Chain A
Amino acid sequence: MNVLPISPEQSSLVILDLLFKLKIKEVMTTTLITAPRGASLRDIQRLMKENGITGVPIAEGRRLFGIVSMDDIITALENGTVDERADRHMATNLVVLEDDMPLSFGISYFDKFRYGRFPVLNRNNELVGILTSRDVSASLLLELFKEYNKLEAQIQPPAPAAGERGRVRRKFPAKRYDFENAGKASHEIKKELTGRGYDPRLIRRVSVAAYEMELNMVVHSEGGALTCLLDPDRVELIAQDHGPGIADVDWAMQEGCTTANEWIKSLGFGAGMGLPNIRRVADEFDIQSTVGVGTTVRAVIRLPPVAPSPAPPQTP
């Protein structure tokens, strides 16, 4: 039967995010091929053949009465009832979806009921579309491609090391719930500092601040970017996200205060230690947040002068 190779429980987080974000009405086919109750099964079989489809909703106007599938046609051919009216043979005990449901719901239906298609009704019980596994795959591919382009656009090539008086500027995108990539930016920053021969304890402070910032954006924000400005005497880290913002910054700055859900906690995060920890390791720290706009966290860690010849990478 028709089983989608996508699971609402086990897919990658980027796909999970899409499955919850996309609504069925954004994915379904809206150009419907239907037949009235009085149509013969032979008419319907022709409709299927002409349009390359395997199921036809029996509807008049926007009112849905039933559905005739390829199986019904085969049965009718076997029983010699193919010239009879559709409403005598259609399935009427229908499983339908609502257009406002998240796509994850639709996918779980494909698993649960093993049908190849589901009629979609709006709030007024009017037939507005049909959802097939093909619609799901096609729209997910399209959305993933869009996400990919969005992320690509956010990546900026690293500025040349000898930019503004030795300043290095790197910007790394951060995406909501993308735990797979959280930490990659911090690792790059750490590598850069290790290569310059800084003290491991200092590198740890910068890495921890950067990592906490990345995690904060992945856990709490709708996405953002981590910028690292590396000057000869300081590292400045700026985490800027585009929402949802923190209503009470003073509360969020307290140890143990968190809005993370159980799922985040099961991944080992969301203990409400992130912001206080960034402040702890930084020489300068500030946070600005506006609900509905976003949050910007800035941390500066001062660097002592290093010997001119680069020291070999050290292990703490």
Chain B
Amino acid sequence: MKFADVAQRLGAEVAHRGSTFDREELHHVMASDLMSDVLVVDRSRLLILTALASDQAIRTADMVGAAGVVVVNGKTLPAHMTRLAAELDVTLLRTRKPKFEACVALRELAAP
């Protein structure tokens, strides 16, 4: 699945469109509010789903080489978070869906 599919499926707005937005094929999703747990994930083409609307969600994505972050629960994105996403070239989406529902929706998208 691509970012455009994810955004459409989750009814998500694109807060920052990273340089790989159109071409990145996302293979794995990690859903957690605990960045400590995300840092243990050893996957490429990763999308992070989290309710943590903070700089550290973007930093964590950068460190594990994740392609993007989806902030769930309609949390407001602080301006500095969006700025950091642009600086580190991490695609940032925001959806009103709760995390569990977003997971289910992405599962259906990956394997209809």
**B8: Cβ under 8 A from any A Cβ:** no
Q: Is A201 touching B44 in the complex (CB atoms < 8 A)?
A: yes
**A29: Cβ under 8 A from any B Cβ:** no
**A175: Cβ under 8 A from any B Cβ:** no
Q: Which residue of B lies closest to A212 (CB)?
A: B39
Q: Could you say which residues of chain B place their CB within 8 Å of the CB of A270?
A: 36
CA distance A154 to B88 in the complex (A): 25
**B52: Cβ under 8 A from any A Cβ:** yes
CA distance A316 to B20 in the complex (A): 10
Q: Which of the four size classes fits the interface of chain A?
A: 20 to 34
**B9: Cβ under 8 A from any A Cβ:** no
Q: Could you say which residues of chain B place their CB within 8 Å of the CB of A182?
A: 56, 59
Mark interface residues in A204-232 (1 if CB within 8 Å of B CB, else 0): 10011011100000000000000000000
**B35: Cβ under 8 A from any A Cβ:** yes
Q: Is A269 touching B37 in the complex (CB atoms < 8 A)?
A: no
Instruction: Name A's interface SS.
Output: helix
Q: Is B62 touching A183 in the complex (CB atoms < 8 A)?
A: yes
Q: Is B40 touching A179 in the complex (CB atoms < 8 A)?
A: no
CA distance A190 to B65 in the complex (A): 10
**B60: Cβ under 8 A from any A Cβ:** yes
Q: Is A204 touching B55 in the complex (CB atoms < 8 A)?
A: no
Q: Is A200 touching B54 in the complex (CB atoms < 8 A)?
A: no
**Interface-centre pick from B34, B39, B59 (highest chain A CB count, 10 A):** B39
CA distance A201 to B42 in the complex (A): 8
Q: Is A180 touching B65 in the complex (CB atoms < 8 A)?
A: no
Q: Which residue of B lies closest to A207 (CB)?
A: B63
Q: Is A315 touching B56 in the complex (CB atoms < 8 A)?
A: no
Q: Which of B35, B50, B55 contacts A269 (CB 8 A)?
A: B35
Q: Which residues of B contact A (CB under 8 A)?
A: 20, 24, 33-37, 39-40, 42, 44-46, 50, 52, 54-57, 59-60, 62-65, 67, 88
CB<8 Å pairs between A and B, sample of 11:
A183-B62, A187-B63, A200-B65, A210-B63, A211-B39, A265-B34, A269-B36, A271-B36, A272-B36, A274-B36, A316-B46
